[in-house]
Structure 1
Amino acid sequence: MTRMAGRLRGAIGAVALVLAASAPAFADYAQYREFFEPIPAIPPIPAHNSMTPEKIELGKFLFFEPRISASGVISCATCHNPALGYTDRIPRATGHDGQIGERNTPTVLNSGFFGAQFWDGRADTLEDQALGPIEAEIEMAMPIGDAVQRLGEFVMYREMFDAAFPGDEDPIRDENMALALAAFQRTLTTPGSPLDLWLAGDEGAMSEQQKRGMAAFVERGCVACHSGPALTDSLFHSIQVPGSTDMGRFVVTGEEFDRHAFKTPTLRNVALTYPYFNNGNVATLDEAIRVMAQEMLAVELPDEEVADIEAFLNALTGRIPDFRVPSLP
C-alpha cells in the first residue's frame, strides 16, 4: 500500500493542479453524484469475525471498560467519546498518568470502511488495531495478559465471552477481545447525512451553498484523496501542517517518500471532530480548508469558496449511533 501511495501522490498532485486552475459554479449539480457514494449502514465484515449480537454487546462493554487500563480509569471511550464525535476534541490525546501523546485522536466513526488504521497505518484492520491502545504505555498502559486476567475476575464477563464465542474452550483471551471490539466498532456507522439524502434523490437535502461547495470540492480535486463511502482513500500523503514535526508513516516504513506522510482522514462527520490534522493544531474547518489548499494544491482559495466548501463539509454529518452506555459489572 505504501509504494502505491508514493506513486499516486505525483499523479494526484498533477490532476489537482489542473483542476485548481478554476472552480466554476454550476446550476445543475446532478453531474457530481458520480463522484460520491452513500455510506452503507454496515461496513464490510471479514469472514473470520461475524457480527453476532453477543459479540457486539461484549465489544461495547469492553469499549467502555476502564479496568483494562493500568490506572483503572481510562477506557477506549475516554479518547473516543460518543458525545464528542468519538474523539476527545483536544489537540493531542491525554493518556496514562497524564501523558500527552504526539497525535490528535482520530474518530472511530465509520472506521470499518478504512483500509488502514491509525494516522500512520501501522494496523490494517480493526482487529489489528483493537489491542494497541490498551498496551501502549502512553495510552492505557495495561499488559494484555493483565487485562485478560482482570476481565476473568468478573462472572458477568465470563458469561459474556462464553455467549460471544460458543464452543471456544478458552474464550477469555486477547484474540477474542480484539474480535469483539472490532465487531462493536463496525456498528459505529453514520448514514443519513444531507449528502447521502441528496445522493438518494432528495434535492432539498442540501442547501444551494452546500451544493456550490460540493462542486468546488470536486473541481478543486479534493475527491482525488477524499473518495469512497467514508471519503478517504486510506492512503498516505505527505503534508506538514502548522507546528508539526511528526515523521508520520516514515516511522513505520523507513521509506523516504513516507516522511511526513499521514493517512487521509475521513471527512464523514468532520464538523464534529475538531481540532484537525495529525497534531490537532488547526481549530476550525475554515482554517483546515485553507491549509489543505495551500499544502496540496498550492493555491489560496477565495473567502467565498472556502465558506462554500465548509458548508458542504457540514453536509457530511450523519446520524450518530444511538445506544445505551452499558452498566459495567
Structure 2
Amino acid sequence: MRKSVLISLLLVGVVFPKGDADKELLAKAKQFFSPLPKSFPSADNPITPQKVELGRLLFFERRLSVNDMVSCATCHAIEYYYASPAPKQMGALKLQPRHAPTVLNSAGQFVQHWIGNRKDVEDQALQSLTGPPAFGNPSKESVEEKIRKIPYYVELFRKAFPKDKEPITAENIAKAIGAFERTLVTPSRFDDFLKGNTKALTPEEKRGLNTFIEVGCVACHNGALVGGNMYQKFGIYEPYWKYTKSESIDEGRYAVTKKEEDKYVFKVPPLRNVAMTAPYFHDGSVASLEEAVWIMGKVQLGKDLSKEQVRDIVAFLKSLTGKIPEDARKPPILP
C-alpha cells in the first residue's frame, strides 16, 4: 500500500476500528482527569450523618444572618445548581465583590473563593458569619446566642458534637455546614467514561474532550474537578477585560498578597456543572458558555478557536453536568 494512501486511511479512521479510537481517547483522558470521589473527607472535620443533617439545615437557615434575611442558599440556590444567577449577589449588608460560584464539589478544591482567601469550606463558612457581604453579624457570639435560643438546634448540636461541653459555637456551625458541603458530589456521564464505559459520551462530546485536551485547556482544568487545584493569571495573552467587557478591573489575588506577580491571578474554577451555573468568570460578566469558551481561547491560550471547536468543547462541558445528591435536591423543613 502506498504511504500516502495509508496516511489517508489513518486520518479517516479506516485502519483502526472505532473502539480502538475510543480506548485511545480514554487513555489520553485518564492522564489528566480522574473520577469524582464519593465525598471530600477532612481529617480536621470528620463527616458524620449527624453533622451532615445539621449542616443541611444550617445551609438554609436565614437566622444565621444579622437580619434573618440571608442563608447560604440565598447565594447558592438549589434551582441554579447551588450557584447564583446574578453576576454579584447581595449579602445581608453589602454586595458581594465577586460572583458566587456553585458549592457542588466545591469542598474538593485546594482553596476557597476566587482569590484563595479561605482555606477550606469550614473556613469559608466561619468567616461568612461576620462578613458584611455574607451574614453580616457583629460577632460570632451574637450568632451563637441566637441559635442557642432554638431548642431544636440545641438537641441537634448535642448529637452532632457529643464530646463538646458547649456544642453550639461558631466553629461548630462552620464544621456542620462544611460536613454537608463535603457530601455535595455530582458524578456525571464523564465519570462513567473515565471508569471505562466509552459509550457514556456521544461522538460530539468525545470530539470536544479531545479538543479540550489538544488545544491546551487541560493545562489548568484537570483533575477530578476539571479545575479548582491551582492559581492562574486571567489574561495570559491579552487583558481579560478586553473581551469580557467587565465594568471594573479586578486585580485578583493581589488584594490578598500585595505581590505584583499576583495581579489578575485567580483560582482556576472547577468546570463540573459549568453548563448549569452561568454567568461566568469571577465577575459574572459573560452569560454564554460558548462565549466564555471562546474568550478563554483568546486570553489564556492565545488561540482563536473555531466555531466547530467551541461547539465541541461546549458539548464536552455539558457532559460534566451531574446529579445533585437526593437529600440535597430540595430545601429541608427548618425548626
Of 304, 308, 312, 2:316 maps to 312
Counterpart residue number, 2:82: 86
Question: Are 2:33 and 1:36 equivalent residues in the alignment?
Answer: yes
Of 98, 102, 105, 1:103 maps to 98
Q: Distance in 1 between matches of 2:264 and 2:297?
A: 17
TM-align CA RMSD: 1.6
Counterpart residue number, 1:163: 159
1:170 Cα deviation (Å)? 0.9
Question: Are 2:213 and 1:207 equivalent residues in the alignment?
Answer: no
1:75 Cα deviation (Å)? 0.2
Q: Deviations over 1:232-285 (max 9, x none)?
A: 152221113421411111101111111111100010000011000000010011
- TM-score computed with the length of structure 1 as normaliser: 0.88
SS of aligned partner of 1:217: helix
Counterpart residue number, 1:173: 169
1:31 Cα deviation (Å)? 3.3
Q: Distance in 1 between matches of 2:278 and 2:121?
A: 22
Unaligned runs of 5+ in 1: 1-23
Unaligned runs of 5+ in 2: 1-10, 235-239
Counterpart residue number, 1:326: 332
Q: Distance in 2 between matches of 1:115 and 1:175?
A: 20
SS of aligned partner of 1:201: coil
Counterpart residue number, 1:281: 285
Question: Are 2:47 and 1:51 equivalent residues in the alignment?
Answer: yes
Q: Distance in 1 between matches of 2:307 and 2:135?
A: 42
Q: Deviations over 1:65-123 (max 9, x none)?
A: 001111101100000111111111111112225x4322111111101210000000001
The answer to which structure, 1 or 2, has the higher relative contact order (CA under 8 A, 6+ apart) is 1
Assess, with a 3 A threshold, how the Cα gap between structure 1 residues 327 and 194 changes in structure 2: closer, same or farther. Answer: same
Percent sequence identity over aligned pairs = 41
Q: Deviations over 1:214-240 (max 9, x none)?
A: 001001111111111111152221113
1:32 Cα deviation (Å)? 2.3
Assess, with a 3 A threshold, how the Cα gap between structure 1 residues 113 and 312 changes in structure 2: closer, same or farther. Answer: same
1:175 Cα deviation (Å)? 1.3
**Is the Cα contact below 8 Å between 2:54 and 2:176 reproduced in 1?**
yes
1:146 Cα deviation (Å)? 1.1
Q: Distance in 2 between matches of 1:298 and 1:115?
A: 27
1:25 Cα deviation (Å)? 9.5
**Is the Cα contact below 8 Å between 2:69 and 2:92 reproduced in 1?**
no
Of 60, 63, 67, 1:71 maps to 67
Question: Are 2:251 and 1:247 equivalent residues in the alignment?
Answer: yes
Q: Distance in 2 between matches of 1:69 and 1:325?
A: 18
Give the letter aligned to residue 34 of structure 2.
E
Q: Distance in 2 between matches of 1:139 and 1:172?
A: 20
**Is the Cα contact below 8 Å between 1:25 and 1:212 reproduced in 2?**
no
Of 259, 262, 266, 2:266 maps to 262
Of 112, 120, 124, 2:119 maps to 124
Assess, with a 3 A threshold, how the Cα gap between structure 1 residues 55 and 306 changes in structure 2: closer, same or farther. Answer: same
1:145 Cα deviation (Å)? 1.5
- TM-score computed with the length of structure 2 as normaliser: 0.87
Query: Which structure 2 residues correspond to residues 15-26 of structure 1 after superposition, within 5 A?
Result: none
Q: Deviations over 1:14-49 (max 9, x none)?
A: xxxxxxxxxx99861233232221111112x22221
**Is the Cα contact below 8 Å between 1:206 and 1:315 reproduced in 2?**
yes
Q: Distance in 2 between matches of 1:131 and 1:81?
A: 19
SS of aligned partner of 1:73: coil
Give the letter aligned to residue 106 of structure 1.
P
Q: Distance in 1 between matches of 2:131 and 2:88?
A: 15
Give the letter aligned to residue 302 of structure 1.
S
Of 225, 232, 237, 2:220 maps to 225
Pick which of 135-144 and 286-295 moved more: 135-144
Q: Distance in 1 between matches of 2:122 and 2:162?
A: 19
Question: Are 2:65 and 1:61 equivalent residues in the alignment?
Answer: no
Residues paired across the two proteins, number: 303
Assess, with a 3 A threshold, how the Cα gap between structure 1 residues 287 and 213 changes in structure 2: closer, same or farther. Answer: same
Q: Distance in 2 between matches of 1:47 and 1:102?
A: 31
Give the letter aligned to residue 74 of structure 2.
T
Structure with larger Rg: 2
**Is the Cα contact below 8 Å between 1:236 and 1:249 reproduced in 2?**
no
**Is the Cα contact below 8 Å between 1:25 and 1:216 reproduced in 2?**
no
Q: Distance in 1 between matches of 2:12 and 2:28?
A: 12
**Is the Cα contact below 8 Å between 2:26 and 2:196 reproduced in 1?**
no
